[in-house]
Structure 1
Amino acid sequence: MTSSARYSAVAIALHWAIALGIIGMIALGWNMEGNESLYQLHKSIGITILILTIARIIWRVMNPPPPLPEEMKPLEKTASHLVHWAFYGLMLAMPLTGWLLVSTSYDFDIPTVLYGLVSWPDIPGVGFLANETGHAIVEFVHSKLAWVAIALLVLHVAGAVKHEFSAEEGVLKRMLPGLFGKTTRPSPPPHGFLVAFGAAIAVFALIAFVPKFFSGGSGTANETPLSSESGASNWTVDHGQSGIYFSGTHDGNEYEGEFGDWSADIQFDPDNLEDASAVVTVRTASANASKKLYTDSLRSAEWFNVSDFATATATLSNFEKTGDDAYEADLTLAIKESSVTVPFTFELDIDGDEARMKGEATVQRTPLNLGQQSDPTADWVGEDVLIDVEVLASRKS
């Protein structure tokens, strides 16, 4: 009986991290239907496997694995090598085809946010596949790779167990963490840690962060802030003490958000409501929601479509006084190429040259063509969206 040299600690860690990731991916793939959280986790683990595989391939090149026992038959050695390299190909192909599948979605365009923290872009230049036929082909290939993974897992485990109890005992132990039995020898000193993981991190950063520099990050870079009033306004808004907020429901849970960049031209005199008006211009890319996934979704084409429609406008007209410090006006909200008019109720407290206003309105998504591609029947995102406005303003001289 001979002993087998042991893999390095880094190789062992990468092996089991990727193995658990692949098993988790298969399990999620069969159980994530109708569950957006599991869907996002599935995508997050897939990209993690892709990045770890890059590190593992570089590590393997710089730190060759221990040789197989001499007692193994040539055919068994060849089969072992083929299974290993097939796994490496699979560890690249599965996440890449999954990424391609997401990038070619044409009827359910949900952004990818890794672990709810990092935005992950679609693959550029694959628009020709973003149709029913192209997407179906990619989906077929990706789903069948899961069965390939299961087959390779069975072969890999069977081979390891078989050789563990044969003449070359120790083959399995050399990849088990924390086991340094008598049948294993120490591995040679490893090298290339910074190269392997540095390259993997560089690939991740190149994909996740570099495109933001070319797109202006949040979509507001190098653009003049909207927080200024025109000469027609007789009030100056204190944006530090004011805000435009929105809220609603998603999958039965409440969400909320705020627009960070907006301007308001307000012409208002409580003694002359016939001439009162207000026009609010909002930078759509400045919307920030309670989850990064929601924020990224709002910027997509089927929601605010910030690349083609940088701003939205809200116009207040037909003011009426309904009680002590209580008013109502018509709010006309224009987003993209759609508009609706709804009641806007507010309370206004004017103290000398300072005014404080709190108001609200409820709008529906469908008339504004928001989210109608992936959720037209409001199965996930509630139809009603509540808009809350708080304004602190001072009267101009």
Structure 2
Amino acid sequence: MASSFTVPQRILHWLMAALILFNLLFTDAMETAARLMFRGQALTPEQVSSANIHAYVGIGVLALGLIRLCLRLVQGVPPEPRQEPPFLRLVAKISHWAFYALFVAMPFAGIGAWYFGNKTAAFAHTGPLKLLMWALIVAHIGGTLVHQFYWKTDVLKRMTSG
């Protein structure tokens, strides 16, 4: 089994990280457009264009996430470091699969909200799914830092330089 992720897996990881952070941090245009849409008010072409950036980035995350999942299933992943306690290995495995679930669920909820006007999808997208994504990101970064500086494993290197 490989000791690091493949180059395509690493590229997808960092590209998706950038796109996800972009969409989590820059939500104003979509929030404004959605608020107007759900009130039945007309949107200007500029508002639609600005909101579509968020939508297209989300659809990109969905597509890249599915490609990434396929690569994971075909190419596998490096084994967990031995220094990591068994319980935390399980937590890491669950959190990684939760990320993959969110790579699909969040964009589909966003699509349901934006393109179909579904308020339940909008709530899921901007509420619990968004909160779970933030929590997983914080835990993911925290876990990486623990590996790097406490257990002194090569986890960070496996996703950067290989």
> For the superposition of Structure 1 and Structure 2, which TM-score range results when normalised by the shorter chain?
0.7 to 0.9
Q: Please, which of 68, 81, 100 is the counterpart of residue 80 of structure 2? A: 68
CA distance in 2, matches of 1:97, 1:72: 35
Asked if the contact 1:94/1:142 (under 8 Å) is kept, the reply is yes
The residue correspondences of 1:1-397 to structure 2 (distance < 5 A) are 5-32=3-30, 33=32, 35-105=47-117, 135-144=118-127, 145-176=129-160, 179-180=161-162
On the 8 A contact 1:69/1:168 being kept in 2, the answer is: no
Larger RCO (alpha carbons 8 Å, 6+ apart): 2
Unmatched 5+ stretches in structure 1? 106-134, 181-397
1:266 corresponds to which residue?
none
Once the two structures are TM-superposed, the CA of residue 71 in structure 1 deviates from its matched residue by 1.5
Please identify which structure carries the higher strand content.
Answer: 1
What is the TM-score with the length of structure 2 in the denominator? 0.84
Shift of 1:29: 1.9
Aligned residues with identical type, % of pairs: 29
| Count of aligned pairs between the two proteins | 146
Hey, which of these two has a bigger chunk of helix by percent? 2
1:46 Cα offset (Å)? 0.8
Q: Secondary structure at the match of 1:166?
A: helix
Are 1:28 and 1:38, in contact at CA under 8 Å, matched by a contact in 2? no
C-alpha separation between the residues in 2 aligned to 1:167 and 1:141? 37
Instruction: Kindly provide the CA deviation profile for residues 293-341 of structure 1, in whole angstroms up to 9, marking residues without a partner as x.
Output: xxxxxxxxxxxxxxxxxxxxxxxxxxxxxxxxxxxxxxxxxxxxxxxxx
Partners of 2:132 and 2:151 lie apart in 1 by: 30
Letter in 1 for 2:131: W
2:9 alignment partner AA: A
Alignment-mate amino acid for residue 15 of structure 1? H
Matches of 1:45 and 1:30 in 2, distance apart? 14
2:20 and 2:109 map into 1 onto residues whose CA distance is: 14
CA shift for structure 1 position 168: 4.1
The alignment's TM-score, normalised by the length of structure 1, stands at: 0.35
* Cα displacement (A) at 1:9: 0.3
| Contact map agreement 2:112 2:121 (CA 8 A) in 1 | yes
Q: Which runs of 5+ in 2 are unaligned?
A: 34-46
Query: What root-mean-square deviation, in Å, do the aligned CA atoms of Structure 1 and Structure 2 show?
Result: 1.6
Which structure's CA Rg is the greater one?
Answer: 1
